[in-house]
Amino acid sequence: MDLTLKIWRQKSAKDKGHFETYKVKNISPDSSFLEMMDILNDQLIREGSDPVAIEKGCKNDGPVVFDNDCREGICGMCSLYINGRAHGPDDDITTCQLHMRKFKDGDTITIEPWRSAAMPVIKDLVVNRNALDQILQAGGYISVNTGGVPDANSIPIKRETAEESMDAAACVGCGACIAACKNGSAMLFVSARVSSLALLPQGKIEGARRAKAMVAKMDELGFGACTNTRACEMECPKGISVAHIARMNREFLKAKLKD
């Protein structure tokens, strides 16, 4: 496959940024999207190292910087807005699981970073998602130390409840929900954690405290409000349901009523 790529280039957080157009050739439909990006970067590096090309005045901005790690859809490191969709034109996957067979020979593909005030661009397609860690640090845990805990089977949990908790715990923390939201809201991300723990007897104990602390941190860090557009659910690579937002709202309200 031969493709035209329009890619967002931005030197640093302060740089304004712009689109550059590149061409790649002979891409196998069985290659992954990120393998296609590797091929582009290989091309850009070779061009940049070629003294003849440089003499002719050919200069490029070097390889495109993009986050990626496990390349099997679980670490949450890859991001990318592809043709206007978080993680591209396939459902229930992260960008690294997207394969080129989803595109056609001759296509033009637009590739941008996540865009959200609370996740500023660091360089090219890489954004700063530190705010997500900060929200979890504010309360996304059960306060137990290592050791001195009861036997695992001393806390029976209904199978359905454990499964629902697992549904929420499948969140990979990629930030697609925030990037997809017109308000830049982190409600799906935050509620997935709140809900996953609130469902379990171990997590219920400090449920109210947790919801309050995490919501307060989310607001403080400049994430937008939720207006129920459900774009987050649509783009979540793990299919996490907005029902968790409703559960978090209940937890939060309960906590506030007690104040």
Partner 1 sequence: MVKMSEKLISKTPEGPLSEKWTEHKTHIRVVSPGNKRKLEIIVIGTGLGGASAAASLGELGYNVKVFCISDSPRRAHSIAAQGGINAAKNYPNDNDSVYRLFYDTIKGGDYRSREGNVYRLAEVSNLIIDQCVAQGVPFAREYGGLLDNRSFGGAQVSRTFYARGQTGQQLLLGAYAALNRQIHLGTVKCYTRHEMLDLVVIDGEAKGIIARNLITGEIERHGAHAVVIASGGYGNVFFLSTNAMNSNGSAAWQCYKKGAFFANPAFAQIHPTCIPVHGEQQSKLTLMSESLRNDGRIWVPKKKEDVDKLRAKNIKASQIPEEDRDYYLERRYPAFGNLVPRDVASRAAKERCDAGFGVNDTGLAVFLDFKTAIDRLGKHVIEERYGNLFQMYEKITDVNPYVEPMMIYPAIHYTMGGLWVDYNLQTTIPGLYAIGEANFSDHGGNRLGASALMQGLADGYFILPYTIGDFLASKIQVLKTDINHTAFDKAEEGVKAKIAKLFAVKGNEPVDHFHKRLGHIMWEYVGMARNEKGLQTAIKEIKALREDFWKNVYVPGESGEFNQEIEKALKVADFLELGELMALDALMRKESCGGHFREEMQTEDGETLRDDVNYMYVSAWEYTGEGKEPEKHKEPLKYEFIKLATRNYKD
Among residues 204 and 250, whose Cβ is nearest to partner 1?
Answer: 204
Q: Which is nearer to partner 1, 23 or 228 (CB)?
A: 23
Residue 42 sits at φ, ψ, to 5 deg, of -60, -45
User: Of 118 and 226, which has the nearer Cβ to partner 1?
Assistant: 118
Q: Whole-number minimum distance, CB 109 to partner 1, in Å?
A: 16
Minimum Å gap between C-beta 97 and partner 1 is 5
Rg (CA), the chain: 21
Query: Is 20 or 38 the residue whose CB approaches partner 1 more closely?
Result: 38
Which residue's CB is nearer to partner 1, number 169 or number 255? 169
Smallest distance, partner 1 to C-beta of residue 153, A: 5
Provide the minimum distance between the beta carbon of 169 and partner 1 in the complex, in angstroms, as a whole number: 5
* Shortest distance in whole angstroms from residue 17 CB to partner 1: 14
